[in-house]
Chains A and B, each alone.
Chain A
Amino acid sequence: MEVYNGEFIRELEATAKKVRRDAIQMIYEAGSGHPGGSLSAADILTALYFHIMKHDPKRPDWPDRDRFVLSKGHAAPALYAVLAESGYFPVDELHTLRKMGSRLQGHPCMQKTPGVEMSTGSLGHGFPAGNGMALAAKLDRKLYRIYVICGDGEMDVGETWEAAMLASHYKLDNITVYVDRNKLQLDGPTEKIMSLEPLVDKWKSFGWHVIEINGHNMKEIIHATNEAKGVKGKPTVIICHTIKGKGVSYMEGAVHFHGKAPNKQEYEQAMKELGGGG
């Protein structure tokens, strides 16, 4: 097991906090967006872009880069935040989210935003597109890897399981799927709307290597990803137990913050809690 010193992990955590602040700021300024799922995925995204992935913000088209697909496209603010903080475009541009003429669309658009690998937003499409990238990598005998974040609500989508079958059928050990298991979807708790459990068994029965972690723990995210890299002949899914709205007290576990912007007072409190100026 790789050992990380405390300083390194603390840096990643500080970056994740910045990413959360960016996301809340963007959604507040846009007046709409999806804070809950952006915050639950923020740590996974930060680990990917600031440690795990082989990528170069100055060369978004570098052929050997690792690919990331945000299958839960509504978490776009968190994706834009890690892209900007990594240097794909100026951090200042984050203020333009959802505004007329912006490169930062409400949901990711690969035609407009540097660093976005796949246009997503309609749920269930990003993961199978990631499989296509993984097939291409195998064909080209390239070693780059494909990383996908799915929402747990996306497990309702039939195509998710078509894609799960395809990845194990074609032995795509170069794709890693993170399920942001925040246990809430727009209408309420996942287990009430459309029960997913036993989710681990479902993935196992589809031929996947399954790892369960705390999706807010940097060490666990990194270790699980390293484990996935070592698995040969089958794809790996990492079920990340997360809290929707993580990091902002009144948003945590609050289903109504799935797709609602904070008001001024809420925004100021959120920024204070996330260690920003407000």
Chain B
Amino acid sequence: MNWKMESQRKQYGRALVELGKEHKNLVVLDADLSSSTRTADFAAAFPERFFNVGIAEQNMMDTAAGLAASGKIVFASTFAVFGTGRCYDQIRQSIAYPKMNVKIVVSHAGITVGGDGASHQIIEDIALMRVLPNMRVVVPVDSPETYRVVKTMATTTGPCYVRIGRADVPTVTDENTKFEMDQAPVMREGKDVTLIGCGIMVSKCLEAAEELSKHGVDARVVNLHTIKPIDKKTIVRAARETGGVVTAEEHSVTMGMGSAVAMVLVENFHVPMKRVGIPDVFGESGACDELMDKYGLTVDNIVEAAHDVLKRKK
């Protein structure tokens, strides 16, 4: 398919500037990566409400908590690898536990960081964030959805983690699509098998569904943009109606989105299932496409997983 490729970060910057106008009590923090995360756009528009803390992510999260405790809506941004693991205790103790109104919006998540290599390709951030009580975890599917998610989060009280990528991503929604946190939209109807994706993998699921249709397989595609709280209803309905589920994520298959879906299915409605994602290994330097290929994140991987699930269906 010929997707329009657009930047999620650009929409984050745009949404922040709009929010800055709408909410006088909104502040933004960054840790020396503002030109990359695009919080620099907000900094240019509202310099007095932007705080660069330098390369000190732990300090950023605790400072964010103090600002939130004083009635501010706080956005804190950096790369996903530094905004989760490096400051996990700060997020846990000072943001999640006291339910602070802090939005952690991170870019450069996953393996599509590319050339920077494994040190910068976090593949376990969804896992880290979704085990935290009070934390919401959202993976916007594309550029327009990033804008909607950020706007929604500003008026949704409490802690939230929003994961976006470095690279431009296929646009699969449009300006009219709605974002509702508790509802995972069905992007394509189907009755034989369900492909549940998040982030960049939703476009791959749509392509896989197209491919499967050539073999007479009618695949449903779900955009599971919110990993927590998870939309059990849509997942269970899909399992009941299609009898098999494939998940696809640009994240380690260990405790990521696929694992969250598996838990829902195990407890509610058993169907054959397969998780497509990065195996339990670190990444490496390379071009995005090469990396997606090597680490099992292709359309073919999803098609193959769907056939495996179909075979196991009664």
Chain A residues at the B interface, C-beta cutoff of 8 Å? 67, 69, 109-111, 117-122, 124-137, 139-140, 158-159, 162-163, 165-166, 170
Contact = CB atoms under 8 A, between A and B. Distances in A.
B93 A159 contact: no
A132 B93 contact: no
B94 interface: yes
B64 A139 contact: no
A124 to B, nearest CB: 8
The 5 closest A-B pairs by CB, nearest first: A132-B66, A136-B70, A128-B62, A129-B66, A162-B59
B72 interface: yes
A163 B56 CA distance: 9
A216 to B, nearest CB: 29
* Most chain B CB inside 10 Å of its own CB: which residue of A67, A117, A139, A170: A139
19 contacts: A109-B97, A111-B97, A111-B99, A118-B66, A119-B94, A125-B94, A126-B62, A132-B64, A132-B66, A132-B70, A135-B66, A140-B70, A159-B59, A162-B59, A165-B56, A166-B54, A166-B56, A166-B59, A166-B63
A127 B59 CA distance: 9
A162 B66 contact: no
Contact of A119 (B58, B64, B70, B93): B93
A125 B90 contact: yes
B191 interface: no
A133 to B, nearest CB: 4
Contact of A118 (B56, B90, B98): B98
Interface of B: 27, 48-49, 51, 53-54, 56, 58-59, 62-72, 89-90, 92-94, 97-99
* Most chain A CB inside 10 Å of its own CB: which residue of B54, B56, B93, B97: B93
A119 B97 contact: yes
Nearest to B65: A129
Given A111-B99, A121-B93, A136-B70, A129 B62 contact: yes
A131 B63 contact: yes
A125 B51 contact: no
A136 B72 contact: yes
B53 A166 contact: yes
Contacts of A170: 51
Given A111-B99, A119-B97, A165 B63 contact: no
Q: Is the interface of B mostly helix, strand, loop or mixed?
A: helix
Given A111-B98, A111-B99, A118-B98, A132 B63 contact: yes
Contacts of B71: 136
A163 B51 CA distance: 13
Contacts of A109: 97-98
A136 B101 CA distance: 14
Nearest to B29: A132
B176 to A, nearest CB: 36
A110 to B, nearest CB: 5
A136 B63 CA distance: 10
A134 B94 CA distance: 16
Contact of A139 (B49, B89, B97): B49
Given A119-B93, A122-B89, A133-B70, A163 B62 contact: yes
B14 to A, nearest CB: 23
Contacts of B58: 124, 128, 158-159, 162
* Most chain B CB inside 10 Å of its own CB: which residue of A126, A129, A133, A158: A129
Contacts of A137: 70
B62 A135 contact: no
Contacts of A163: 59, 62-63
B62 A159 contact: yes
B101 to A, nearest CB: 12
A231 B183 CA distance: 53
Contacts of A69: 66
Contacts of B48: 139
B98 A132 contact: no
A128 B68 CA distance: 12
A110 B65 contact: no
A119 B95 CA distance: 9
A122 B93 contact: yes
Contacts of A130: 66
Contact of A125 (B56, B70, B93): B93
B27 A139 contact: yes
A135 B94 contact: no
Given A132-B64, A166-B56, 12 more contacts: A117-B69, A118-B66, A120-B93, A124-B58, A127-B62, A131-B62, A132-B65, A132-B68, A132-B70, A159-B56, A163-B63, A165-B54
A235 B77 CA distance: 26
A129 B74 CA distance: 13
B4 to A, nearest CB: 39
A131 B94 contact: no
Contact of A128 (B63, B72, B99): B63
A147 B40 CA distance: 32
Contact of A135 (B59, B63, B97, B99): B63
A81 B127 CA distance: 40
Nearest to B48: A139
A99 B90 CA distance: 26
